[in-house]
Amino acid sequence: MWELLLVPGKPLLRLAAVRAVTSDLLFPTLFEGDPMTPSALLEIRDLEVQFGMEDGVVRAVDGVTYTIEAEKTLGVVGESGCGKTVTALAIMGLVQSPPGKIANGEILYHRGEKTTDLAKLPPKGRAMRAIRGNEIAMIFQEPMTSLNPVFTIGYQIMEAIILHQRKRKKEARRQAVDMLREVGIPLPEERVDEYPHQLSGGMRQRAMIAMALSCNPQLLIADEPTTALDVTIQAQVLELMNALRKEFKAAIQFITHDLGVIAGMADDVAVMYLGRIVEAAPVREIFHAPKHPYTQGLMHSIPSLTRSRERLVPIEGVVPDPSDAPPGCGFEPRCPKRMEICKTEMPPLKDVAPGHSAACWLYGGTT
């Protein structure tokens, strides 16, 4: 995240101001958007992200399609290596290139009636930089490694405000203190001058959230924001995010592997496996009527705090290496319900119930 917030010296500021005037991107029109999908904020279509490695191409994201609606929270669940973080980095234009590249697909970002394809924007270009950290912000998993250890947290929050909102330093500082207070950091006037190492893990994550929200983003991408935290601190941060979501009216893409967190946070859920979305539905549907065998397997493999103790039903085998993915359905080698067609043909994601889609041959369909 640092690269987009690099040293906001004064000459740079003036430059940014001039550019802002000439850039039509910064002036969203007043009309309400696309009549077809009135509330869609971000639409991802057939996104493919590939990494060129020594021994071939790894398709980390392999044809992902989903929509995030304004002011809604989309939970993205999946195990390590399923491509959930890479998808988020692609939205932010942060896929490192080389070796990575967006090989195909669109990331359509709707503002008013204007639509921008983020996948086509040069990642370091002016337009992308005006969006990243401003209209779309991201919270990373490890607050210790994603904050810069040699700058105070106040400075790091002010950077975003000065850069994107063209505020004076004094004003930006006041705003940074307000944000720290907003996210529940005690004594914000003092904390603003502290360095990341002086804060506890929970406080650092709060500072990250303050930074992400400081420019009032339309979309907040939270990548495992509470995974590194203890359960009581996690509860604090989740409660904070729920409160802020109502206040700031931002859409959230919440990435996690923890089904418990998803159940409490998300409106809609997308389940990823091996670079693809295997199932997407509203949160109750996913938990009460999961359709894809992988989703069903996940539900059975977690020990429950509330249900009586029964033997877990694990998913057999391991996730295949993405560079050696099966030709048909990625889940076929581990699937208890696999059929002949699954070995050779990739099932498309299609509707199995209203608002509920799954990519599985069990629910019929053709290639």
Partner 1 sequence: MTTTPSDAVLLDVKGLTKHFPVRKGAFRRVKAAVKAVDGIDLFIREGETLGLVGESGCGKTTAGRSILRLVEPTKGTIVFRSRRMAGSAGGVREMDVVNASRRELKALRRDMQIIFQDPYSSLNPRMTVGAIVGEPLLVHRMARGQERGKRVRDVLGAVGLKPEHMKRYPHEFSGGQRQRIGIARALVLEPQLVVCDEPVSALDVSIQAQVLNLLEDLQREFGLTYLFIAHNLSVVKHISNRVAVMYLGKIVELASTERLFVEPKHPYTEALVSAVPVPEPDYSVDRIILEGDVPSPIAPPAGCPFHPRCRYAIDVCSSDVPVYRDLGHEHFVACHRADELSLQPIRDVATTSKTDASA
Contact stretch for partner 1 (CB under 8 A) within 2-10, 245-253, 308-316, 359-367: 308-316
Q: 254 - beta bridge partners?
A: 75, 222
> Quick count: other Cβ atoms within 10 Å of Cβ 295?
24
Tokens representing 64 are 């992902």
Asked whether position 301 contacts partner 1 by CB under 8 A, the answer is yes
Q: Does 246 bind partner 1 (CB under 8 A)?
A: no
Q: Residues near 311 by Cβ (< 8 Å), separated by ≥ 6? A: none
C-beta separation of 196 from 147 below 8 A: yes
338: left (phi over 0), alpha (psi -120 to 50) or beta: beta
Q: Is 271 in the site for partner 1 (CB under 8 A)?
A: no
331 sits in the region (left: phi over 0; alpha: psi -120 to 50; else beta) called: alpha
In the set 284, 337, 343, 350, which binds partner 1 (CB under 8 A)?
A: 284
Contact stretch for partner 1 (CB under 8 A) within 8-16, 155-163, 188-196, 283-291? 283-291
Q: Residue 92 in contact with residue 221, Cβ under 8 Å?
A: yes
> How far apart are alpha carbons 13 and 127 in whole angstroms?
16
Query: Candidates 144-152, 167-175, 254-262, 337-345 — which segment interacts with partner 1 by CB under 8 A?
Result: 254-262
Tell me the residue ranges of DSSP E strands in the chain.
40-53, 56-69, 73-77, 100-111, 114-117, 136-139, 219-223, 251-256, 268-273, 276-282, 350-353, 356-358
198 scored as a contact of partner 1 (CB under 8 A): no
Q: Which is nearer to partner 1, 93 or 202 (CB)?
A: 202
Choice between 233 and 362, CB closer to partner 1: 233
CB of 63 to partner 1, least distance (A): 22
Q: Min. distance of Cβ 235 from partner 1 in angstroms?
A: 4
Segment contacting partner 1 by CB under 8 A, of 92-100, 135-143, 208-216, 310-318: 310-318
Rule CB under 8 A: say whether 302 interacts with partner 1.
Answer: yes
Q: Are 299 and 305 in contact (CB under 8 A)?
A: no
Smallest distance, partner 1 to C-beta of residue 28, A: 34
CB atoms within 10 A of CB 30: 7
Only segment of 1-9, 33-41, 122-130, 304-312 that touches partner 1 (CB under 8 A): 304-312
Distance CA(214)–CA(70), nearest Å, equals 18
Scanning 88-96, 148-156, 168-176, 232-240 for contacts with partner 1 by CB under 8 A, the matching segment is: 232-240
Query: Which of 290, 297, 330, 347 is in the footprint of partner 1 by CB under 8 A?
Result: 297
CB of 152 vs partner 1, minimal distance in Å = 20
Q: Which of 264, 326, 348, 365 binds partner 1 (CB under 8 A)?
A: 264
Pick one of 42, 158, 262, 349: the residue that binds partner 1 (CB under 8 A). Answer: 262
Residue with tokens 């932010």: 92
Under DSSP, is residue 14 helix (H, G, I), strand (E, B) or coil?
Answer: helix
The tokens describing 45, both together, are 């279509």
Residue from 151, 195, 248, 287 touching partner 1 (CB under 8 A): that is: 287
Of residues 28 and 320, the one with the C-beta less far from partner 1: 320
Dist. CA 115–CA 39, nearest whole Å: 13
Residues of this chain that bind partner 1 (CB under 8 A): 79-80, 200, 202-203, 230-236, 238-239, 257-264, 283-284, 287-288, 297-316, 318-319
